[in-house]
Amino acid sequence: MEARVLVGTFVHATRQEPLLVLRAHALGVARDGKIAFVVPETQLQETLQRHDWSGVSIRRLSHRQFVMPGLVDTHIHASQYSFAGTAVGLPLLEWLQRYTFNVEAKFHDLEFAGDVYTRVVRRTLKNGTTTACYFGTIHTDATLLLCDIADRAGQRAMVGKVCMDHNEAVPAYKETSDEAVRDTERFIMAVKDMKYERVHPVVTPRFALSCTRETMRALGETARGTGTRIQSHISESLEEVELVRTLFPESENYTEVYRSSGLLTDKTVMAHGVHLGEVELRLFHEAGASISHCPLSNAALCSGTMDAQAVLSHGVKLGLGTDVAGGYSASMLTAVRHAVLAAHHVGLAAHRDVKDQTLGYREAFRLATLGGSQVLGLEEVTGNLEVGKELDALLVDTEAPGSPIDIFPDDSWEDIIQKFLFLGDDRNILEVYVAGRDVTPRDEPVTSP
């Protein structure tokens, strides 16, 4: 890959600023895909000389284009993509039992798995997801196939073989405790053996209602012993919370079930956390564990509305997730919109002053980019456009052919970015880069009959 320079408008989040617009800037990408410099355009020539980059290709963006960091989906079930957009409206446990487990059971068929996984990786990339944290199914080989597909497509991915040794509703879709642990170990070894540059295994107990204590403890031990990250679900619906209480009476709360099993660590991301209380948020903070906020899923499954402000004020790392297919959209832009609206609903219910909302579109933008990278332990590598990070980025054009956005002469850059976040879609995402490499899906895949 040759070193390149982009000149134009850049938008990103930093620890200090949720949304920073750099107009008339130049960004240099080195041959290794890392950001070599970000300087005002007026300093470009001097910077090129300093880097000995004479003759490097310089590309100027148009006045309606900008570059932003790639979107980070911290929670998505790749295995549920085939039924995204259907089965909306059932409560969580019924939705799992009536639809989800039956569909996931089909992934022993590698042809079926390959088709679904190829399409979900393609769809998410097209929508600007440069990093995805995926759940597969209990099938190790199919989940390894997902790793392969993500790697070949150039997407950065965390991938988990789902573990579940308890399933009364669909007994055919579960494994023994031994299988869950042995197959997780095999999965981790196999992914490591492949030496993928940007695809990593994640220890994935489905949630406390699908796993016995024995299995959760053993998986906690596996994660610790192998230094692997952990993902699961927590406190999504009240019915689920109540059942966890009756199944694990020895634990004071849901978070404690995971903590006492060795599953609540600084490498953990738990999806949802809609009904977590003060005590539990403090446990998250103490452990350095993260939450993936999936607002569309929470609304679609009538689970409740998470208070992102409360999570952030406890100093808990927070990212956004689509939670396909609980959430019907694989687009992280949709997650951004719903995060903003969910914060409004929570604020209204609590009679908060609207001005006290911490989660406006700027903060939601940060959560969808930098926040996600923090949640997945990737902050040193990606998440924004800081020098030294790998360039995971989107080239956005608000006047692309067929664009759903109308820009007016008086629109400021902040207006334009807001319009993209609230109204834009994949038609506006012209190019997608991971580690400086163009990974934009272009050819249409062959569709199944």
Ligand X SMILES: Nc1nc2[nH]cnc2c(=O)[nH]1
Which C-beta is closer to ligand X: that of 129 or that of 210? 210
DSSP state of 391: -
Nearer to Zn ion, 297 or 309 (CB): 297
Element (H, E) at 432: strand 429-434
The conformation of residue 210, written as its DSSP 8-state character, comes to T
Q: Which positions ≥6 away from 17 have C-beta within 8 Å?
A: none
Picked from ligand X, Zn ion, none, the partner binding residue 206 (CB below 5 to 8 A depending on kind) is: ligand X
Instruction: Choose among ligand X, Zn ion, none what residue 253 binds, the Cβ cut-off being 5 to 8 Å by kind.
Output: none
Q: Which of 4, 12, 156, 233 binds ligand X (CB under 6 A)?
A: 233
Which 87-106 positions form the footprint of ligand X (CB under 6 A)? 92, 96, 100
Give CA–CA dist 211/204, Å, rounded.
Answer: 10
* Interface positions, 306-345, toward ligand X (CB under 6 A): 323, 326
Our finding on whether 185 is near ligand X (CB under 6 A) is no
CB of 66 to ligand X, least distance (A): 33
Coarse DSSP helix, strand, coil percentages of the chain, rounded to the nearest 5 percent: 40, 20, 35
Q: How far apart are CA 204 and CA 206, in angstroms?
A: 6
* Contact partner at residue 100 from ligand X, Zn ion, none, CB < 5 to 8 Å by partner kind: ligand X
Q: Pick one of Zn ion, ligand X, none as the site partner of residue 418 (Cβ within 5 to 8 A by kind).
A: none
Partner interacting with residue 207 (select from ligand X, Zn ion, none; CB below 5-8 Å by kind): ligand X
Residue with the closest Cβ to ligand X? 326
End-to-end CA distance of the chain: 38
Residue type, 207: F
Q: Which of residues 199-218 bind ligand X (CB under 6 A)?
A: 206-207
- Binds 307: which of ligand X, Zn ion, none (CB < 5-8 Å by kind): none
Q: Distances in Å between the alpha carbon of 297 and those of 110, 187, 249?
A: 27, 28, 28
According to DSSP, residue 304 is labeled -
Q: How far is CA 332 from CA 224, 235, 364, 409, in A?
A: 31, 22, 10, 28
Query: Shortest gap between Cβ of 116 and Zn ion (angstroms)?
Result: 16
Q: Tell me how far, at minimum, the Cβ of 314 lies from ligand X, in Å.
A: 22
| Minimum CB distance to ligand X, residue 126 (Å) | 23
| E strand intervals along 303-374 | 317-320
Q: Which residues contact Zn ion by CB under 5 A?
A: 271, 323
